[in-house]
Amino acid sequence: AQRVTQPEKLLSVFKGAPVELKCNYSYSGSPELFWYVQYSRQRLQLLLRHISRESIKGFTADLNKGETSFHLKKPFAQEEDSAMYYCALQAGTALIFGKGTTLSVSS
Amino acid sequence: GAGVSQTPSNKVTEKGKYVELRCDPISGHTALYWYRQSLGQGPEFLIYFQGTGAADDSGLPNDRFFAVRPEGSVSTLKIQRTERGDSAVYLCASSLGARNTEAFFGQGTRLTVV
């Protein structure tokens, strides 16, 4: 079955602390994975995709096919990183989303 | 336009009524998607259009749900005989192509069935 699992509903960290948002997937083919972010009162938007191997706003994510994971990481969290984060898997033409993790960064 | 536009932003309807939700995609985007997001869940795929045709409607939950995109631009999601379980945020997204291209989301329509 095609599935995306984000085990943490809420992650609270202090400003400057490292952040890791976990994402595990189940997919029989070659996965295409994404992280989407939704800031308060804003629309859902793409943060990064694994094929680009890019760093956006200091966030990176590495696809680990052995562990079927695509965890999102940032070495030093900022208050403006507080948002809802969704991991998504491209399955055919559709995106399959996880349930999301709320990241709360406090000073 | 500036982005994907969805109207109305909020809709309250009575159980059993018919509703239409509208999506204006970004100009030039041939791919259009509808998703449904229930409370505490991630967006759930409903239907995908490439141009005017529904290329994948496997996510529609039942035959009360229908969507059209007659001219390959604006799309309308139609829900007949609404039920309380249909209450959710309905999201529309568009992209230049189906794969490996960024999907841009609208703000969503919050549907409440009372």
Phi, psi of A50 (to 5 degrees): -70, -30
Mind telling me how many Å the CA of A101 is from chain B's nearest CA? Answer: 10
Instruction: Check: CB of residue B113 under 8 Å from CB of residue B82.
Output: yes
Which pair of tokens denotes residue B88?
A: 């959710």
Average pLDDT for residues A58-76, to the nearest whole number?
A: 94
Chain B contact set for A88 (CB, 8 A): 42
pLDDT (tens digit per residue) in B51-99: 999 889 999 999 999 999 999 999 999 999 999 999 999 999 999 976 7
Band of pLDDT at residue A93, cut at 50, 70 and 90: confident
How much is the mean pLDDT over chain A? 94
Chain A contact set for B106 (CB, 8 A): 43
Q: Which of A35, A48, A52, A56 is nearest to A100 (CA)?
A: A35
d(CA B57, CA B37): 17
How many residue pairs bridge chain A and chain B with CB atoms within 8 Å of each other?
53
d(CA A16, CA A106): 9
- First-to-last CA distance in chain B? 33
Mind telling me how many Å the CA of B101 is from chain A's nearest CA? Answer: 10
More confident: A32 or B100: A32
Cis peptide before B8 (omega within 30 of 0): yes
Give percent of chain B above pLDDT 90.
88
Band of pLDDT at residue B2, cut at 50, 70 and 90: confident
Mind telling me how many Å the CA of A98 is from chain B's nearest CA? Answer: 5
